[in-house]
Amino acid sequence: MQVRILVGLLAVVFMSSCAETRITEHEDWGKKYEQYGIKNACIILRDNNHEAIHYYNKDRCITRYTPASTFKIFNSLVALETAIAPDERLMIKWDSSDVWPDACEKDLTMNDAFKESCLWYYQEIARRVGAARMQHYLDTIKYGNMNTAGGIDKFWINDSLQISADEQAGFVKRLYFAELPMSERSQRIVKNMMLREDKPNYKLYYKTGTGRIKGDKCIYWITGFVERIQKVKEPKGSMNKADERNYPYFFAQNFEMPVADTTRDWFETRIQVLKEVLTDYGAIPRSEDK
């Protein structure tokens, strides 16, 4: 059974009597998941522009689970910071030793491996970083429970390392503002790798992750941020010469489904339902919005 520990962004805010951050529960967001047959889900949305937190299912938001492939965000940062990867173009040759999805069965750059979520590449990255340095960064950043038991190339997929949705949202917020104890360059490169949708009025950045939990269940993660692009007429003398402003929102969502449930493509469903929530809140503009 998962231990529910009040840690991270949501927990700190809930427990702090002097916090000025506005917190809103959205029970109606649950219907967006239920329409797809998803009963065990949560999402936390941090609206940085209004210093507000919005969420659905608080208990699940503060429960830690395996990060699965969302850990590639952290793994990439450490690879860059330690110079294991000089940049996102680091090429690692595929050794053909295992069977992987077609997109992963070839030599890959870090950017390719991140986009295609190729496990073998990041296992090799973790081995090159080594246990001591990996533990150092987990402890320094305080990523989830910081547990690397079970092997340097398996700890984020074998349920040793665990992190909650509110901790994930706090982590990507620090990444966005280059507030992690790492170079601005490393954080900028990883942010750029996370970009998945570049639209005229918003940019969506994220990493997905899928892992086995509770024996017969899969957890489906997605964490990242969206920038809503607002056209503005800046006053004369403004430092912003682009006549547009980017308003960031940080999110983490997860839900679980039986491993045997193939009634939907849950990989795509997690993206679809996330975008429905982001649109409902206004972080992603509706099509009729200017």
Rounded to whole angstroms, the Cα distance separating 71 from 208 reads 9
pLDDT tens digits for range 124-133: 999 999 999 9
Amino acid 128: pLDDT? 98
Residues 105-142: b if buried by 16+ CB within 10 A, e if exposed: eeebbbbbbbbbbbbbbbbbbbeebeeebbbebbeebe
Amino acid 236: pLDDT? 67
CA terminus-to-terminus distance, the chain: 47
Q: Let me know if 31 is exposed, middle or buried by CB neighbors in 10 A (0-12, 13-18, 19+).
A: exposed
Helix (H) / strand (E) containing 42? strand 40-47
* Token reading at 193: 């790798």
Amino acid 192: pLDDT? 98
Amino acid 151: pLDDT? 95
Using alpha carbons, select from 184, 203, 280 the residue that is nearest to residue 248. Answer: 203
Rounded to whole angstroms, the Cα distance separating 278 from 104 reads 30
* Token reading at 151: 């092997």
* pTM of structure: 0.90
- Hey, what amino acid is at 259? V
- Hey, what amino acid is at 204? L
Amino acid 44: pLDDT? 98
Amino acid 70: pLDDT? 98
Amino acid 242: pLDDT? 66
> What domains, with CATH codes, occur in the chain?
1-65+165-180+193-290 (3.40.710.10), 66-162 (3.40.710.10)
Catalytic (active-site) positions: 69
Amino acid 234: pLDDT? 64
Rounded to whole angstroms, the Cα distance separating 9 from 92 reads 36
Amino acid 150: pLDDT? 86
Amino acid 241: pLDDT? 61
Average pLDDT per 10 consecutive residues for the chain, totaling 290 residues = 46 43 92 97 96 97 98 98 98 86 94 97 98 98 96 96 98 98 98 97 97 93 96 67 85 97 96 98 78
Amino acid 238: pLDDT? 63
Rounded to whole angstroms, the Cα distance separating 104 from 122 reads 11
Amino acid 3: pLDDT? 44
Rounded to whole angstroms, the Cα distance separating 87 from 38 reads 39
> What one-character DSSP code corresponds to residue 3?
-
